[in-house]
Amino acid sequence: MTKPSRLLLVLATATIAVLAAGCARSQPANLPAPDRREAPADAATMRLSFSPVVKKAAPAVVNVFSKRVVRSTVDPFWGMFMGGGIPQDRVAQSLGSGSIVRADGVILTNHHVVEGAQQIVVVTSDRREWPAKVLLDDPRADLAVLKIDPGAERLPTIAIDDSGDVQVGDLVLAIGDPFGVGQTVTNGIVSALARSGVSESGFTSFIQTDAAINPGNSGGPLVDMHGDLIGVNTAIVSGSGTSSGVGFAIPATLARQVVTAAAGGVHELVRPWLGVKSQALSEDMAKGLGLTSLQGVLAAEVWPGGPAAQAGVARGDVILSIDGKAVADPGDLNYHVATLAPGGVAHLAVRKASGAQRTLDVRLAPPPDQPPKDQRTITGANPLNGATVMNLSPAAAESLGLDPFGGHGVVVTAITGGYAANLGLQPGDFIRGVNAAPVGTVADLMTALGAQTGAWALTIERGGQTITARVQL
């Protein structure tokens, strides 16, 4: 070790000793006895325990196991020895966590924990196993509500705190079953609020935390120092698949909405729709519009006759806030709208293209379902055999997670096999034409497919690009 290195080490050691002595002198005389445990209230009491918070919240945290049968194809090489790649059935399992939010067995978890499940088993903190059914599944919010039947027994519950007073720096605990090792508690702080772009839902404004969240924690609660649920743990950013201190939770406001709907007997949640396609502002855009900050989103498109259009929102307007809450980006706007109820009124602060700022009252409504879906699964000797298609409307687009402004026409919603699978069609593809006949509706498509022919020319749009595939049957 060089002399300068030794000097630094000595200085550091001396500094630590001085700080330790100072801390010992400055500790308040009324600190609890060492064996007394309570939630830390300030920096001076950080040496105390989170045990009271855990004792309150943990009994209501459950493990969620789901199973589904999936069909896979044998690897082509092994297929030469095993029947040429005959499809094989296998059982796929998913492990997650959840929170009991009602004493009669209503449980909140993630959609991706139970997606496609044919069997769901819930294990409560006392290690009892319960069969569960899905009351409401909300893929857009990545939330699901389950129900177990405890009979007359009242199960322990966790309260949902949707007051919205969560602040960056608040202490939080993440409770769940990471990697299936058993119930685990990790602590951290709220690192950031209103994070968007984390998932494909488009309207979720996440709570970011550095509390360790790992596979298996999904669906478990993020709790505050009162032991209340302030978020549902749902995602991590990681290069290894394990916690790297960047985890995300769905805010309790959205969770409360889903639980309330499920408890009221709703099986499919319908959210309000503004009828606006918004776009984040860049510095150049803000300067061009005469804005001094990047707050707000640009109304890039407005649906004719939609709620926003009727209230006076026009293309090129900048939406600054909704109900007094500042809007930072499109995901933030969509989240605030998603937490409201159809039929209500939202107050939009809008900067018009003229520079004038106005407050517009928007009567929220569900997305229109025109034209009707007319959903069908195609059969027969044609290249779309095995494809399920429907007419695209704003309501259908919202349910499928598609852009309502992406265009009208016939969209593929599922592929169940047949010629369509061999052709490589995918959900989200638009069928624009068959044998030079334009296709605008499912009825148009069925008429075109009804023409007997052995050669087909299909015009397909995918991701904004259009191709024509020629098929000989």
Residues 207 and 249 in one domain: yes
Assigned domain for 5 exists = no
Residue indicated by tokens 């290249």? 383
Widest Cα–Cα separation across the chain: 94
Low-confidence spans in the chain with pLDDT less than 50: 1-36, 73-84
Residues 88 and 129 in one domain: yes
Residues 213 and 259 in one domain: yes
Residues 288 and 427 in one domain: no
Assigned domain for 8 exists = no
Residues 358 and 321 in one domain: yes
If one counts every other C-beta atom within 10 angstroms of the C-beta of residue 22, the result is: 10
Boundary (domain end) residue, out of 363, 385, 415: 363
Assigned domain for 88 exists = yes
> How far apart are the C-alpha atoms of 233 and 98, rounded to whole Å?
9
pLDDT at 223: 95
Residues 292 and 259 in one domain: no
Q: DSSP per residue over 300-322, as a string?
A: EEE-TTSHHHHHT--TT-EEEEE
CATH code where residue 62 lies: 2.40.10.120
- What single-letter amino acid sits at 314? A
Helix (H, G, I), strand (E, B) or coil at 337: helix
Assigned domain for 4 exists = no
For residue 395, the 8-state DSSP code is H
Which residue, among 179, 123, 174, has the nearest Cα to 146 in the 3D structure? 123
Assigned domain for 301 exists = yes
pLDDT at 34: 45
Count: domains in the chain: 3
pLDDT at 71: 52
Residues 105 and 43 in one domain: yes
CATH code where residue 330 lies: 2.30.42.10
Helix (H, G, I), strand (E, B) or coil at 59: helix
pLDDT at 248: 92
Residues 230 and 170 in one domain: yes
Boundary (domain end) residue, out of 332, 363, 394: 363
Hey, which residues are catalytic here? Answer: 112, 142, 218
Residues 228 and 91 in one domain: yes
Assigned domain for 98 exists = yes
pLDDT at 451: 79
> How far apart are the C-alpha atoms of 228 and 236, rounded to whole Å?
22
Assigned domain for 55 exists = yes
238-243 — which CB contacts under 8 Å span 24+ positions?
Answer: 241/215, 242/214, 242/215, 243/212, 243/213, 243/214
- What tokens were used for 376? 């069908």
Assigned domain for 60 exists = yes
Residues 354 and 402 in one domain: no
Residues 132 and 211 in one domain: yes
pTM attached to this predicted model: 0.74
Burial class of residue 133, CB neighbours in 10 A (0-12, 13-18, 19+): exposed
Range of the domain at 348: 276-363
Boundary (domain end) residue, out of 312, 336, 363: 363
Q: CA triplet 381, 386, 388: central angle to 5 degrees?
A: 125
pLDDT at 214: 84
pLDDT at 54: 93
Residues 408 and 456 in one domain: yes
